[in-house]
Amino acid sequence: MSVIPQSVSYVVIGAGVHGLSTAWHLAMELAARGRGSGADIVVLDKSGPGAGASGIACGCVRNLYMTEPIHALLRHSVDVWMNDPVAFGFQQVGYVSVGEGNQIADYERVVASQNRVGYPSDLYVGGEAHAFLKSIWPDFKTDGIDVALHEHVSGYAGTRQAIRGLAQKCADHGVRVISGVAVTDYVVEGGRVTKVVTDRGEIACDLVIWGLGAWTPLHWAKLGRPERVACHYADGSTVEKDMWTYWRLLEGEVYDDRPYLTAGGMNPPVLHVEKMSTPVADANGRELRDYTYLYFKNGNERMDRPGLQGGTVPVKLGPRATVDPYGHANDAYQAETEFADYLCAGMAQTMGRFEGIRPNFRQRRNGGIGAFTPDNVPVFDWVLPNVYMIADSNHGFKMLGAGKLAAKYLMGDDVADLKPFAFGRYADGQTYGSTNSHSPWV
């Protein structure tokens, strides 16, 4: 059993993507500035690296967001993924998103913003969209599709590989990652945390960083932060909302012994289809839902045989949920049979090759929950003057750049690309708005 230190400068709680990325980048920043090293940092996890959402994510790394500040964050994130794509298991296959006519204006805005921040993407409309899709997937059923967006530098990563790679980066830079230590409380003196209390003793520290994922609301409450937040919008309206809302993810896997490849024999881009006015029906014509929303890609490390992994819009749970046991271990939050029907029918409606695929759905646990912020956009900010929170609103497996930017910020740099994610936006009338989508990922 690892010995926990009695005192250390930086305590990172949670060894998911954010805790590990932040610790690794902080170690590099400390060393580069002659202000310390990884030996000043300890990462604590009550279970171990990847025990939370980071270990079960679908692994999609894309930049299709209506919230423009996220585009720059993803630019930084892909830089980190490409820092060592082999160690992180990152497949830079690109990302293609398709929609109907009501989304063309949104997509135009997204493409312009992505390219402004150096995230190369192209837009195809009408017949050009059809030709583009068929050039990659000749059996793509393009009826009803009016727009396609192609992000060149996006892709996906294997979650176990990514976590292993990040943990290795931490170790390479002298950061101690200690498993099996739960932070149970905080000693707060003069408004600052002076010690974290763990089930293995107390650790005195200067700064605490939360990479707590779905457990963030529990610690938010421990430090007496409010359950409800007045969210002020740019149009002058105010809506009081729960600070945290849990959603249950719907994802699964489908075996396919025929390799899933492009016309050119390559690993295809991650595909996202959102047709807001096109229902999904099964092979018998039974309507499963009145809109199409799905994403899928090659199954990667998760599969024991060739196949694909995909998902759809998550299910809202509310301000309370049971986080322990987490993920596949929690009976309450596993995807139901209807999801398997929907995913397979949606895939069959999208490409001819998937017709009749339903019997190949892989029966296994896939569930996982996440804690979303009031506007479903990440909050990266101080909770107390020496407690920094990385709360990605449960869409941040892709956001490895958050830890890179946070490390610079914690060194005292002015980091412009982090500012849009401050908690103060709710009070300042900068709450992000709703979106033209069925999904909370805005």
The end-to-end CA distance of the chain, in Å, is: 42
Query: Smallest distance from the beta carbon of 391 to ligand FAD, in angstroms?
Result: 7
Assess contact for 163 and 87: CB atoms under 8 A: no
- Which C-beta is closer to ligand FAD: that of 199 or that of 290? 199
Pairwise CA distance, residues 86 & 168, whole Å: 12
Q: How many residues does the chain have?
A: 442
- Which C-beta is closer to ligand FAD: that of 47 or that of 142? 47
Q: Which token pair is 100?
A: 């109907």
- Residue 297 has φ and ψ, to the nearest 5°, of -165, 175
Query: Smallest distance from the beta carbon of 337 to ligand FAD, in angstroms?
Result: 18
Query: Smallest distance from the beta carbon of 294 to ligand FAD, in angstroms?
Result: 13
In the sheet that holds 95-99, the strands lie side by side as 121-125, 147-151, 95-99, 270-275, 292-298, 307-318, 245-255, 369-372
Pairwise CA distance, residues 17 & 90, whole Å: 14
Query: Smallest distance from the beta carbon of 214 to ligand FAD, in angstroms?
Result: 5
- Which C-beta is closer to ligand FAD: that of 57 or that of 93? 57
Q: Is 383 helix (H, G, I), strand (E, B) or coil?
A: strand
Query: Smallest distance from the beta carbon of 15 to ligand FAD, in angstroms?
Result: 5
Identify any residues that bridge with 92 across adjacent strands, giving them in sequence order.
none
Interface residues toward ligand FAD, by CB under 6 A: 13-19, 44-47, 51-54, 56-60, 182-183, 211-215, 249, 251, 368, 370, 392, 394-398
Residue 265: which region, alpha, beta or left (left: phi > 0; alpha: psi -120 to 50)? Answer: left
Query: Smallest distance from the beta carbon of 43 to ligand FAD, in angstroms?
Result: 9
- Residue 418 has φ and ψ, to the nearest 5°, of -90, -25
- Which C-beta is closer to ligand FAD: that of 232 or that of 328? 328
Assess contact for 214 and 394: CB atoms under 8 A: yes
Query: Smallest distance from the beta carbon of 130 to ligand FAD, in angstroms?
Result: 27
Distances (CA, A) of 307 to 157, 299, 304, 360: 15, 5, 9, 9
